[in-house]
């Protein structure tokens, strides 16, 4: 039986969402979990819709400033990759905690749609003033992910 973990996403010092996930792997640097869509209803972003039946394979790193989530529809079809810019993940027992830094990136399954998301929220968060080092790391992480997304995807990163 697979280990059950709990993913905790923190934003602005408060828990934004907490959900159960199945541990797929932990090599000491990267943790990989799988979880169904955590919301009770769907969420339409305009460029993709997430909802019941979707499955997320989520990759978190202890020393990288992002998480990459492969999103599959209930029929197994890859919808794309949703990337959260976060502080490095912290593992405590079977709890995986990440702090969301407001920036996100989307890459569609076919790579035709790569977009930065929530840059306005990031600017409004005040992180650049409160913690310039973290803000710089967050922007560098977003640039790195966008480069990978535009150069063919995340296969090597997630292998």
**Mean pLDDT, the chain, as a whole number?**
95
pLDDT in the model for residue 9: 96
pLDDT in the model for residue 39: 79
Query: How big is the chain, counted in residues?
Result: 159
pLDDT at 12 over 60: yes
- What is the reported pTM? 0.95
Of 46, 49, 108, 51, the closest CA to residue 80 belongs to 108
Q: Which residue has the tokens 């039946």?
A: 53
17-70: pLDDT as tens digits: 999 999 999 999 999 999 999 877 899 999 999 999 999 999 999 999 999 999
54-68: pLDDT as tens digits: 999 999 999 999 999
* E strand intervals along 12-155: 14-26, 30-36, 43-44, 49-50, 55-61, 66-72, 78-86, 90-92, 95-108, 114-117
pLDDT at 1 over 70: no
Of 25, 40, 33, the closest CA to residue 8 belongs to 33
């Amino acid at each position: 039986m697979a280990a059950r973990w709990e993913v905790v996403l923190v934003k602005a010092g408060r828990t934004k969402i907490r959900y159960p996930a199945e541990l797929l792997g932990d090599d000491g640097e990267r943790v990989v979990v799988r979880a169904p869509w955590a919301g009770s209803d769907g969420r339409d972003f305009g460029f993709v819709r997430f909802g019941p039946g979707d499955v997320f394979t989520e990759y978190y790193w202890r020393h990288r400033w992002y998480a990459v989530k492969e999103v599959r529809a209930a029929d197994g079809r890859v919808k794309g990759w949703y990337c959260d810019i976060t502080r490095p993940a912290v593992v405590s027992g079977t709890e995986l905690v990440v702090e969301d830094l407001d920036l996100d990136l989307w890459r569609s399954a076919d790579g035709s749609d790569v977009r930065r998301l929530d840059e306005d929220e990031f600017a409004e968060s005040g992180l650049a003033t409160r913690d310039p080092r973290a803000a710089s790391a967050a922007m560098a992480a977003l640039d790195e992910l966008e480069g990978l997304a535009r150069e063919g995807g995340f296969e090597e990163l997630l292998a």
